Chains A and B, each alone.
Chain A
Amino acid sequence: AQSVTQPDIHITVSEGASLELRCNYSYGATPYLFWYVQSPGQGLQLLLKYFSGDTLVQGIKGFEAEFKRSQSSFNLRKPSVHWSDAAEYFCAVGPGYSSASKIIFGSGTRLSIRP
């Protein structure tokens, strides 16, 4: 069965500093991987997704993620964070074959920004 682990419950970084949020998944075949962001009181917004092709994926708001099959990871990065990036971030994994209909979410990482 597929599963997702986000080992960091809460991360605080200074504004302007770089960011990396960790995501590890468990799935037997090629997964469909996602990062979503949830601001307080809001629904989830898709940042980026990966199924195949270039393992470095560019998303919205200056985020990128890299798929590393050997490490079963899909870490999210941003070179310089802004105060508006403070939110909850969720990694999700779905079955391959380009299907996003049955995805499992991690428990999330809450990002705080230090002024």
Chain B
Amino acid sequence: EAGVVQSPRYKIIEKKQPVAFWCNPISGHNTLYWYRQNLGQGPELLIRYENEEAVDDSQLPKDRFSAERLKGVDSTLKIQPAELGDSAVYLCASSLGTDTQYFGPGTRLTVL
């Protein structure tokens, strides 16, 4: 069974540029999560989807971050414009309902 797929794995951009990350969850998993992991820290939830509905986006900085999961399967997280402080690893996870979360390999973003 394929795991959670994320792309790209690495991204380097200059500040004020836009960037997007893509995630394809495990087949059949209706719940999808985006996390941000700063260096030396644990992951912090940005947004959680149940099917196509964002049910928890309280930690998403909505002035520059946006996410979508239009058909309730894959998802895109966007930052526009990026700031230096956005440099981090962005992790996607999925689960069947509220069961155990399974994580993708992440996208390492460097903002110069």
Identify the A interface with B (CB < 8 A).
4, 9, 34, 36, 41-46, 49, 90, 92, 98-103, 105-108
Contact A100 B100 (CB under 8 A): yes
Verify if B31 is at the interface (C-beta below 8 Å from A).
Answer: yes
Binding site secondary structure of chain A:
loop
* Complex contacts, B95 vs chain A, CB 8 Å: 100-101
Check A107 against B100 for contact (C-beta < 8 Å).
Answer: no
In the complex, are the beta carbons of B42 and A92 less than 8 A apart? yes
Contact with A along B23-48 (1 / 0, CB 8 A): 00000000100000000111111001
Interface size class of B (residues with CB under 8 A): 20 to 34
The chain B residues found within 8 Å of chain A, CB to CB, are 4, 6, 31, 40-45, 48, 56, 91, 93, 95, 97-106, 108
Among all A-B residue pairs, the 7 with the closest Cβ atoms: A105-B42, A43-B103, A101-B98, A99-B98, A44-B103, A43-B105, A43-B104
Contact A46 B100 (CB under 8 A): yes
Complex CA distance for A44 and B41, rounded to whole angstroms = 13
Asked whether B103 lies within 8 Å of A102 as measured between CB atoms, the reply is: no
Query: CA A43 – CA B45 in complex, angstroms?
Result: 14
Known: A98-B98, A100-B99, A101-B31. A41 touches B105 (CB 8 A): yes
In the complex, the answer to whether B102 meets A107 with C-beta atoms within 8 Å is: no
Q: Which residue of B lies closest to A49 (CB)?
A: B100
Check B40 against A107 for contact (C-beta < 8 Å). yes
B31 closest partner in A (C-beta) = A101
